[in-house]
Structure 1
């Protein structure tokens, strides 16, 4: 997860990101002012979350930009934590805040693993052979 944390710190200054974790999932919250669900795209490829987003600005026709302080086009590749299940990810956007919920893979249940030895295989084979001679 530290690689994801590092990648979040490298996002543009206009993007604020929070990463939260619970027992069952991760929650990635990205503040993308001016971005809507229609101007954002999320994909998962090869263990990475690809985020593309752009701010859709409505410029009144009688105005031209003298200076633009907050352009936003985000094209980010974020590494997924190894226990994240990308297939079950969910995302929502409200008022420029994108929330991506990544469930965690369930840990394998605890169990005892039996250990066999070569002697057990030989004794099993001997029992089979002795039974065959009685028939």
Structure 2
């Protein structure tokens, strides 16, 4: 009878692991949601970035859009065994800037708030100071302990 119970527990554990892996894969395939805000001087893209460190964040500007990739890692927890690995480890998302937006992607800055949001601020180019830059660029990245900026405010922490 104990062999049947052990077999049942083994099958149950494998089913949970399989369901967790599917759940994680679905999360990884779904793009990160983003808000795009605009002020007189810049655009601000805000992404949810739960469980990441700034070193694990990649931001680039390409063809009029802000693209992010977040790589998360699962920590080990003593005395615990993984039952349901349901969190995606690589999350990606992007947000398109308005058509014709003139920005300076080389001056863009990314900050990660302690509440788990990634803010990417892309300054606008003033009329007559240059053309829109549509080449690939990586944003400068910074970590901050400040609370997230309210819409219309900028995050000056560096």
TM-score (norm 1): 0.59
Instruction: Name the Cα RMSD after superposition.
Output: 2.6
Distance 1:77 1:31 in 2: 12
- The corresponding residue for 1:66 is 83
Does the CA contact (< 8 Å) of 1:16 and 1:32 recur in 2?
no
Offset, 1:91: 0.9
Aligned with 1:42 (options 59, 63, 69): 59
- The equivalences for 1:1-135 within 5 A come to 12=30, 15-81=32-98, 82-95=101-114, 96-108=116-128
The runs of at least 4 consecutive aligned structure 1 residues that moved more than 4 Å come to none
Offset, 1:56: 2.3
Distance 1:48 1:21 in 2: 14
Distance 1:80 1:18, change over 3 A: closer
SS at match of 1:35: coil
Distance 2:33 2:94 in 1: 15
TM-score (norm 2): 0.51
Larger Rg: 1
Structure 2 gap ranges (5+): 1-28, 130-158
Offset, 1:106: 0.9
- The corresponding residue for 1:123 is none
Distance 1:91 1:69 in 2: 28
SS at match of 2:106: helix
Distance 2:37 2:94 in 1: 18
